[in-house]
Chains A and B, each alone.
Chain A
Amino acid sequence: NAGVMQNPRHLVRRRGQEARLRCSPMKGHSHVYWYRQLPEEGLKFMVYLQKENIIDESGMPKERFSAEFPKEGPSILRIQQVVRGDSAAYFCASSFQTGPGELFFGEGSRLTVL
């Protein structure tokens, strides 16, 4: 499967724990985007990364959330001290160009905070 791979697909955490979501972009893609989908809502942009750089994090909450895309390995979205409001589906998308090409989405990671 050469698509965007996200894991885990489902994650359950208790309030105060940490959640780590991983995304491996499509082969050859160096642009990664994270989106969050809250229940009954559309997707909201969180952050745009290229290898080793955060390009645009205007959609990221200022506290507890961080993202990285290291030179080697997958992109990681990290949520510290999770709260119930963090329960959502988190989608990663990748593209291979900086222009308005197609975004390829993963199947999402569904976080449930108890």
Chain B
Amino acid sequence: AQSVTQLDSQVPVFEEAPVELRCNYSSSVSVYLFWYVQYPNQGLQLLLKYLSGSTLVKGINGFEAEFNKSQTSFHLRKPSVHISDTAEYFCAVGPGAGGTSYGKLTFGQGTILTVHP
């Protein structure tokens, strides 16, 4: 079984400040890791994913995340946020190499990022 914990339900920051959204996971098998963003009344959009290789992953809109296997974490970061980054962010894990149903993701509860002017 897999589980995902997003450690902060809400993160308020000021515009142009750096931000980190924390995600920890647990799994008995190898996993792939994802961050999705959801704007109000919209579907989810993929920000970035870790499948293999370099543990530092760069995504869209200036976001990046670092996979830390020993700490089972996949924290999302951005050095300078904009008002338009205000949204809800979801961390997710899926079956890793050799798995099936690759789209069967386990999501965290979400972190609402609010960027203030």
Binding site for B on A (CB under 8 A): 4, 31, 33, 35, 40-45, 48, 55-56, 58-59, 91, 93, 95, 98-103, 105-108
Contacts and interface: CB of A to CB of B under 8 A. Distances in A.
30 contacts: A33-B103, A33-B104, A41-B109, A42-B4, A42-B108, A42-B109, A42-B110, A43-B107, A45-B104, A45-B105, A48-B104, A55-B101, A56-B104, A58-B104, A59-B104, A93-B43, A93-B103, A95-B103, A98-B102, A99-B102, A100-B49, A100-B51, A101-B102, A102-B49, A103-B44, A105-B36, A106-B43, A107-B42, A107-B43, A108-B43
B25 interface: no
Nearest to B110: A42
Nearest to A9: B41
A42 B25 CA distance: 14
Contacts, number: 65
Interface residues of B, number: 26
B24 to A, nearest CB: 14
Nearest to A55: B101
Given A48-B104, A100-B102, A101-B102, 11 more contacts: A33-B103, A33-B104, A40-B109, A42-B4, A42-B107, A43-B90, A99-B102, A100-B96, A103-B44, A103-B105, A108-B41
B55 interface: no
B101 A56 contact: yes
Nearest to B9: A40
Given A42-B90, A43-B90, A103 B106 contact: no
A107 B90 CA distance: 15
Contacts of B44: 43, 91, 93, 103, 105
Contact of A107 (B41, B102, B103, B110): B41
